[in-house]
Structure 1
Amino acid sequence: MDKTITLEKFVQILSGTENTMEACGDAFSLIAPALQISRITLDMNIPETRQTPTGEVRHLTIYSGEMLSDEETEIVWLEESQRTFENGMITARVYAPIETNWSPDERQFILSAIRIFLIHIGRFRLVELVQKSALTQYLTGLPNSGGFLAFATRKVISGEITKYNSYYFNLKGFGLINRRFGADETDNIVRRYARALLEFCEEDEVVGHLGGDNFVALIRKERTGDFLNLLQKTTVYGIRDGEQVPVTISAVAGVYDIDDSLKNPGQILGRSSIALSVARSLSNEPFLFVTKEMSTRVYREKQIEDRFEDGLLNNEFKVYYQPKVDTRTHTLIGAEALSRWLCKGEYVYPAEFVPVLERNSFSIGLDIYVIEEVCRTIRKWLDEGLDPVPVSVNFSRSDLTDERLADQILEIINKYDLDLSYIQIEVTETATSKEKGLITHFLTKLNGMNIASSIDDFGTGYSSLGILRDLPVSTIKIDKSFIDNEVLTRRDEIVLKNIIQMAKELDIEVITEGVERPDQIEFLQRVGCDLVQGFFYDRPLTREEFEDRLKNKTYNI
């Protein structure tokens, strides 16, 4: 064997491809038989690093010669190691029968070949890492969205995808873990959690990490129960004050039972994320399977979110005015401003878009838009010689975290040179003590600016009677649920009469909403509430329709 020529061919084979692992068998076949090499192995021991978050331990046979007879025994005749860029170690071992007797030149030749191979392995791992990094989440080493979808696409192409359930899950209490252990150790805890997920997965399953506390998985359907149990409770550990502390991690999951309706791999993530969105809004649901109704609803909500900013810029939101009437004289005494959204020729009503905007903290943009439009309109009426009535403008509870909100409201009123009596700010009664604090602060600030305020849906929230005592409001609006019964009883009358009497003694105006029937008017007059709002007098009116109503404020009842 011409060692120089053989070594050149050996190098050519390894250099002819980026995949050294695939080529090494052919390369070593050039030299191994003549030297009685029976086997060559490769051990990789890579520590946990940013590049390899879960570490890597592999034992591979990269060349295997003819089977030894029962009488023959092989031993390691040569061993060579190389340190990796992550400060790990790769070791190649050359096996040959125990009676092998290499000359010094042959031994040196084999050693040269092994060293060349290790250099190529180093190059191969760098290329592999670069390719893998595009499809891998850096913290955990799990597939990112690209890596997850690449796996899913292969299963779609092979026709096996309907054998899987898709999971999109979010860790509960992640912020608490962060505060308890600090950012660095929390990263370690997430890595350990990722390793636990990996240990559960079989070779034909995948779990991915989208970043933060968001994960995805494709798990065979027959293992659904086991995987959901894992998501509900997985115990890892964190290091605090030098000691291991058990950390139990639970997740909220959306599950998509993949069926033949799947059109493309992207739906695998989309549909399971829909179920997760619904599950997260239901605090008692640790997981939820996607349904067609969920998909339709969430798609609609996404449309609302995506279109909202353009809707404001293009003045697609129209302000309607629902009259408030004094039932003693049937006279218009005020109005509530209500928004309607004319989106691409279709009206979207507040019951549909307001909850979406509130969840995403977009509502303040709409509420500021409405009060600006109301003030502009009142200014127009005054300039045209009309006699406006006070208009109440709703502000969402989610708006109240903005410290400058009251100042913004005053600036807008002053911008149009309006008397403060023309505007009333309406907020909905809160359901929590925390929100009550925000409302109290906001209303107190408005009161100091001499801007009237109103509590909407009075009687449905947190400590209603306490509001009469604690909040500096000008008006309370009795919720329609108090008068919705087909037959209004003596008990209804006693409850409402006492609320109204207390409010009036505190110099708080009372108005009832949702009034639609004559018997409701009679009932309210008996209990002392003469101001109403509802379809009995008028539906919400366009600006032009309300202008006509301002010209003749008396209803012919």
Structure 2
Amino acid sequence: MENNILNRFIQILSDTDNTIEAAEEAFDLLAPSFNISQIILDLNIPETRQTPTGEVRHITVYTGDIANDSGAEIVWLEESQRTFENGMISIHVYAPIETNWTADERQLLLSAIRIFLIHMGRFRLEELVQKSALTQYLTGLPNSGGFISFATRKMISGDINRFNSYYFNLKGFGLINRRFGNEETDNIIRRYARALLEFCNDDEIIGHLGGDNFVALIRKERTGDFLALLQKTEVFGIRNGEKIPVYISAVAGVYDIDDSLKNPGQTIGRSSIACSVARSLSNEPFLFVTKEMSTKVYREKQIEDSFEDGLSNNEFKVFYQPKVDTKTNTLIGAEALSRWFYHGEYVYPAEFVPVLERNSYSIGLDIYVMEEVCSTIRQWIDKGLDPVPVSVNFSRSDLSDDRLADQILAITQKYNIDLDYIQIEVTETATQKEKGLITDFLNKLNGMHIASSIDDFGTGYSSLGILRDLPVSTIKIDKSFIDNEILTTRDEIVLKNIINMAKELDIEVITEGVERPDQIALLQRVGCDHVQGFFYDKPLSLEEFEERLKNKIYPV
């Protein structure tokens, strides 16, 4: 009889993946005849790599039908077992004080308890394996998979609109790392995670995506409290045996979830948009997602996803903006500018170039334009047209490629183009590091006898240093120097000195953005006769520019 009960007990536990859920049914085979009122499971797991924040659970796995007067029952049996992470699982069996088991009954119940603990060990291991796939190893918080799983359940239940979604990035964590070192910084992040969990209710979630990036779903009515927590959370670090307060603040993006949410991944994606914008605004500790933010990011994603197909399908067209000698009103050159004919309309560089540069795609476009320009110059020569030099822009982000100058030379050789017809244009650098990349690149071009130009001269790191240090053929003065509604003597003095220095260094000067007759007059007075701008021409299609080549003189 006893063996039959134990076999059935074992079978029930073996037929399930969730030992805790099956416990009530399994113990119901024994408990009524033993007059058991309840069975309590205590789980106490220390902080380990598998459970960085530890775990304490107190679970009633069986409740009997007898009257449950806590003053009339005691623990008649308890048994404990170590877990693989050196924690403890304990079982406490409660029964009325007048209970009287025989030795055989006690042994049967003890055998059942031990069997249950063995199954609990198996269940705990399987639970941990499953959890680890959805958990960030350092903090024990849900990773992106665990967070999305939680958000999915909230969407299915129809409860998701009661929450705000947060994406937050810890400020100044590099300084904390330098102050405390890698190991203690990891401990600080764990303490921060525990502080977040203390705030979090059972129906909310805090996730850790790795590094200093976190996500959360918090009830909307608790928005103010959570944002306050993110602005300043006190933990501590230990250095040289001393416990030192550490105050952590975060920059957050907040998505006020509404009916426009279509998939759980948007809970991360949309709040991360606002976080990115907040990070770029030093005085904004948090921002809520706006429709404009979402539209902008959606557009940028379109550009990223469509770029390679756009190149393959020849959707990028090269336009040519003339450069003119104002003394003779003669066409002397052109700048090649790309336009993207996307879904029936032109997209301008101001929209797509920054996106390509952020994703290191710009080099593909710049090489494409270089190839188109050289192919076109070859066609002009073959048709008997007299070409003018064409400048091709290359992004600063391209310059980290050591092979770039060799690629440029190879393209000119492929089309058998005289190097006098090509000029490579780069934008004046904003940082000392980028200046080093530009210097190396221009030195390579100079060694290949390829002319170079610095665009937007006067806006970067050290304009006078460029005149001194870089082997450039041309500087293009930024339009900001001539943009004042009324041009003054001070404008004239500044321009005159820049131009005189450049000419003494045998550097050609051209001014961009020229649109008005008074600008032309000023530039002629200070010795800059070469200009580019709408005063003479907008960027022209290939067909329109070929007409300019046939008659290079502009009517006065």
What secondary structure sits across from 1:77 in the alignment?
A: strand
Equivalent-residue separation in structure 1 for 2:370 and 2:356 (angstroms): 17
Equivalent-residue separation in structure 2 for 1:27 and 1:37 (angstroms): 13
Equivalent-residue separation in structure 1 for 2:85 and 2:527 (angstroms): 81
Shift in CA distance, 537/70, structure 1 to aligned 2, threshold 3 Å: closer
The corresponding residue for 2:196 is 197
> Residue 305 of structure 1: CA displacement?
0.8
Equivalent-residue separation in structure 2 for 1:181 and 1:399 (angstroms): 37
Equivalent-residue separation in structure 1 for 2:94 and 2:445 (angstroms): 86
Equivalent-residue separation in structure 1 for 2:253 and 2:526 (angstroms): 50
Q: Indicate whether 1:463 and 2:459 are aligned.
A: no
Q: How does 1:359-378 map to 2 (within 5 A)?
A: 359-378=358-377
Equivalent-residue separation in structure 2 for 1:384 and 1:201 (angstroms): 74
The corresponding residue for 1:11 is 10
Q: Is the 8 A contact 2:45 2:54 kept in 1?
A: yes
Equivalent-residue separation in structure 1 for 2:22 and 2:216 (angstroms): 33
Q: Deviations over 1:279-306 (max 9, x none)?
A: 2333443322110111111100111111
The corresponding residue for 1:413 is 412
Q: Deviations over 1:495-519 (max 9, x none)?
A: 2222222222222111111112222
> Residue 442 of structure 1: CA displacement?
2.4
Q: Indicate whether 1:505 and 2:507 are aligned.
A: no
What secondary structure sits across from 2:26 in the alignment?
A: helix
Equivalent-residue separation in structure 2 for 1:153 and 1:351 (angstroms): 38
Task: Report which stretch shifted further, 192-201 or 385-394.
Answer: 192-201
Equivalent-residue separation in structure 2 for 1:248 and 1:310 (angstroms): 48
Q: Is the 8 A contact 2:73 2:94 kept in 1?
A: no
> Residue 95 of structure 1: CA displacement?
3.3
> Residue 201 of structure 1: CA displacement?
0.5
Equivalent-residue separation in structure 2 for 1:402 and 1:481 (angstroms): 31
Q: How does 1:77-92 map to 2 (within 5 A)?
A: 77-92=76-91
The corresponding residue for 2:311 is 312
Shift in CA distance, 508/298, structure 1 to aligned 2, threshold 3 Å: same
Equivalent-residue separation in structure 1 for 2:71 and 2:337 (angstroms): 94
Q: How does 1:138-537 map to 2 (within 5 A)?
A: 138-173=137-172, 187-237=186-236, 248-537=247-536
Q: Which amino acid aligns with 1:118?
A: L
The corresponding residue for 2:545 is 546
Q: Which amino acid aligns with 2:420?
A: S
Shift in CA distance, 414/183, structure 1 to aligned 2, threshold 3 Å: farther
Task: Report which stretch shifted further, 330-339 or 494-503.
Answer: 494-503
Q: Is the 8 A contact 2:38 2:94 kept in 1?
A: yes
Task: Report which stretch shifted further, 30-39 or 18-27.
Answer: 30-39
Q: Deviations over 1:98-128 (max 9, x none)?
A: 5544332122111111012112222333443
> Residue 176 of structure 1: CA displacement?
5.9
Shift in CA distance, 181/499, structure 1 to aligned 2, threshold 3 Å: same
Equivalent-residue separation in structure 2 for 1:326 and 1:436 (angstroms): 30
Task: Report which stretch shifted further, 161-170 or 3-12.
Answer: 3-12
> Residue 257 of structure 1: CA displacement?
1.4
TM-score if structure 1 supplies the norm length?
0.91
Shift in CA distance, 383/239, structure 1 to aligned 2, threshold 3 Å: farther
Equivalent-residue separation in structure 1 for 2:254 and 2:269 (angstroms): 11
Equivalent-residue separation in structure 2 for 1:410 and 1:235 (angstroms): 58
Q: Which amino acid aligns with 2:445?
A: L
What secondary structure sits across from 1:503 in the alignment?
A: helix
Shift in CA distance, 218/174, structure 1 to aligned 2, threshold 3 Å: same
Equivalent-residue separation in structure 1 for 2:88 and 2:165 (angstroms): 37
Give % identity.
81
Equivalent-residue separation in structure 2 for 1:190 and 1:9 (angstroms): 47
Q: Which amino acid aligns with 1:317?
A: F
Equivalent-residue separation in structure 2 for 1:122 and 1:414 (angstroms): 72
Q: Indicate whether 1:21 and 2:17 are aligned.
A: no
Equivalent-residue separation in structure 2 for 1:445 and 1:94 (angstroms): 83
Q: Which amino acid aligns with 2:452?
A: S
What secondary structure sits across from 1:440 in the alignment?
A: helix
Equivalent-residue separation in structure 2 for 1:448 and 1:501 (angstroms): 26
Q: Which amino acid aligns with 1:418?
A: I
What is the total number of aligned residue pairs between the two structures? 555
What secondary structure sits across from 1:450 in the alignment?
A: coil
Shift in CA distance, 243/379, structure 1 to aligned 2, threshold 3 Å: farther
> Residue 352 of structure 1: CA displacement?
0.4
> Residue 371 of structure 1: CA displacement?
1.4
Equivalent-residue separation in structure 2 for 1:70 and 1:189 (angstroms): 43
Shift in CA distance, 418/69, structure 1 to aligned 2, threshold 3 Å: closer
> Residue 533 of structure 1: CA displacement?
0.6
Shift in CA distance, 209/449, structure 1 to aligned 2, threshold 3 Å: same
Equivalent-residue separation in structure 1 for 2:70 and 2:316 (angstroms): 87
Q: Which amino acid aligns with 1:57?
A: V
What secondary structure sits across from 2:538 in the alignment?
A: coil
The corresponding residue for 1:93 is 92
Q: Which amino acid aligns with 2:34?
A: L
Unpaired segments ≥5 residues, structure 2: none
Task: Report which stretch shifted further, 101-110 or 139-148.
Answer: 139-148
The corresponding residue for 2:108 is 109
Q: Deviations over 1:451-493 (max 9, x none)?
A: 2211111122223233222322211111112222232222222
